[in-house]
Chain A
Amino acid sequence: MGDGKDRNSQGGEKPREQAIFAGVDIGSTMTKVVIWGGNVLSTFIGPTGAEYRLLAHQVVQDALRRAHLSFEDLAYVISTGYGRMNVPFADGQITEVTCHAQGVFHLFPGTRTIIDIGGQDSKAIKLNAEGKMANFAMNDKCAAGTGRFLEAIAETLALDLKELGELSLKAGTPVKISSICTVFAEQEVVGHLADGKRLEDVLGGLHEAFASRIQSMAVPVKIEAPVVLTGGGAKNIGLRRALERRLGYELLIPPEPLITGALGAALLAKERWKKAVAQGLPLNKEKRKLEAAKFYH
């Protein structure tokens, strides 16, 4: 363009001396992308849908477009999350456990524990003083303690998730919900409401039970402050308060709790790329193209 500014192949402005990396986090419900070049250049969050293998590249395209970049500008791509094995244009796959650790520690240096509450699973990650993953625990077997638990209840009560959390804060005397199974818990909730209990009290008890499940899941990693809460669950104020009450201290919440995995993946992409440069290894997958997966793992 002749204005002296460094331009990328699409004519957008390119930050100086920065190689550009992408982290693609394909979760069971949402797909998140972070483009990193010294700082976050763009993020994109979209529903994963049933055929994520067909959509991952589109999400990346959207993120690139926002940053005025093209796929060829990416030096290295790391995929993570549930669908990480089906991203043919990724140069490597790293689990969401390691990626969350990386992303969260970048946002909150000194973090010792991460609790991630996703749509279909939840996990607890312990970090050492250097921010490296030291231990992890997961619940991916049952809905209790995952976003699905609250979604199911929200649907039954014809409320949205945000309302569910906010109403729970108004509980006077939370009603004890003892079931660990989503189906039974739902029955309990309905039963209590039929008995005439206040909706706020029942929801208060429900969030208590949820927090209890999360705490049980996290026990093997020995929760230690500072604790960061990520994932869709972090947006539920009722859950956050219930957990804080249990732990006895405040939780840290990232400004956008859904992208910590993708952020970590992008940062790890940079790390891998630098190592490859230093060791003279191939820098990225040759002939990688931004396209849908044609094969299944």
Chain B
Amino acid sequence: MDAPRGLARAAELYKQKDKRAKEWKAQGKKVLGYLCLFAPPEIMAAAEVLPYRLRGDLKEPVTKAYEFVEPFGCPYVRNLFDQDLKGKFDFLDGLIMSHSCDMVQRIYGIWTLNKKPAFHYFVNVPHTPAPWSQEFFKREMVFFREKIENFSGNKISDDQLQKTIAEYNRCRALLRKLYSLRKVDPPLVSGTETLQVLVAGMGIPAEEFNGLLQEVIEEISARSQQLAQKTTRLMLYGSVCDDFSLIQLAEENNANVVIDDTCIGTRSFMQDVPETADPLDGLVSAYFTSFLCPRTDRGAEGGRLQYIADLAKEYKANGVVMYIYSYCDPHKFDAPDVKDFLKKEGLPSLIIDDDYTLTNLAAIRTRIQAFVELLG
């Protein structure tokens, strides 16, 4: 039987996200799990380590984690910690975390001291992109590279790093191309399908992801049948969304999710890593200085509001679903200003406050459906 290709392969990888990583390990190679996007995967990949972005499990109630950590703070991170305690990430050779937010910073110690992964490292990230903070982050990149060299036993030359960055930039360009197919109405690919592709990329080597993306783009461009015409085009904004249940809910209710500003969505690929003489400088720029996430202090106005509105308009969204986790300080501090700004720009928004598991699915469905009815 032929191996699945394109969207079918993405769907398969979505269901079995760790399959490729386990195959990689079986070949005697190393895999490192990581949380959030401040520790550049390019550095790990340049050392022939497979970077594996940890993914939550919506269906698995958190239990073991509560022996060690409080039942508040980011529910997504608690979910990941719980999975690790239950052995779901035992195939990893180590864990990389970064100072993305308070929760990850605080849990790093609790997690590593209780679960005791064989290898662990924390990339520190300043809160304000001032010049000295950029220098700090550059030094963090130097230390991180050394650490990965020691861990993997492979030297990461500038040359190798530049090649890896170029490969990852090819992924980014292909992802932007894929997204551009959602600008038409109806979009050529659904939000649900797109998310599966994004999640598929979380656990496979960049070269393979590039191949998969090319297949998917070809397949979608050749589609003879359009997706159903719907009344509403939505932007999904907020915390990490790595399960398509929420998107599917919207798409079952006369809406298409056509664009996002989320962690494994556009935030990870809308900009390339600049290909600088010292490759670390490019990484500092893309992963810190220009990385538009509310965990970074960008002064009054947050520096992001116009960007969010422009992105929504570029994709002709007529409404924004703000999907925010319980206890998420960075997003909840910004939410009133984001909502007001979007409203001024003619974009109504709906805030959905969730504990990651969508436990009260009926209530969320009602809100989304009412929002679509309002926009319609």
Contact = CB atoms under 8 A, between A and B. Distances in A.
Interface string A117-145: 00001000000000001111010110000
Contacts of A113: none
B373 A141 contact: no
B360 A134 contact: no
Contacts of B362: 82
Interface of A: 82, 85, 93-98, 121, 133-136, 138, 140-141
Contact of B373 (A82, A133, A135): A133
B135 to A, nearest CB: 43
B113 interface: no
A140 B363 contact: yes
Interface string B346-376: 0000000000000010110111011001100
A136 B363 contact: no
A138 B367 CA distance: 8
Contacts of A94: 369, 373
B370 A97 contact: yes
A97 B373 contact: yes
12 contacts: A82-B362, A85-B365, A95-B373, A97-B366, A97-B373, A98-B370, A98-B374, A135-B374, A136-B370, A136-B374, A138-B363, A141-B363
B370 A141 contact: no
Given A138-B367, A140-B360, 6 more contacts: A82-B362, A96-B366, A97-B373, A97-B374, A121-B363, A138-B363
A133 B374 contact: yes
A45 to B, nearest CB: 21
A47 B366 CA distance: 21
A82 B362 CA distance: 7
A98 B365 CA distance: 14
Please report whether the interface of chain B is mostly helix, strand, loop or mixed according to DSSP. Answer: helix
B218 to A, nearest CB: 35
Interface residues of B, number: 10
Contact of A134 (B363, B365, B369, B374): B374
B366 A141 contact: no
A95 B373 CA distance: 8
Nearest to B373: A98
A141 B374 contact: no
A135 B362 CA distance: 19
Contacts of B373: 94-95, 97-98, 133
Contacts of A93: 369
A284 to B, nearest CB: 19
A90 to B, nearest CB: 14
A95 B363 contact: no
Nearest to A135: B374
B374 A138 contact: no
B356 to A, nearest CB: 15
Contacts of B374: 97-98, 133-136
B111 to A, nearest CB: 29
A95 B360 contact: no
Nearest to A136: B370
B296 to A, nearest CB: 27
6 closest Cβ pairs, A-B complex: A97-B370, A95-B370, A140-B363, A98-B373, A95-B369, A133-B374
A141 B359 CA distance: 11
A235 B365 CA distance: 28
Contacts of B360: 140-141
Contacts of A121: 363
Interface in B11-39: none
Contacts of A138: 363, 366-367
B364 to A, nearest CB: 10
Nearest to B361: A297
Contacts of B369: 93-95
Contacts of B370: 95, 97-98, 133, 136
A96 B363 CA distance: 11
Nearest to B362: A82
Contacts of A140: 360, 363, 366
A134 B373 CA distance: 10
Contacts of A85: 365
A95 B372 CA distance: 10
Nearest to B372: A95
A269 B233 CA distance: 25
A97 B367 CA distance: 9
Interface in B180-212: none
Nearest to B350: A136
Contacts of A98: 370, 373-374
B213 to A, nearest CB: 34
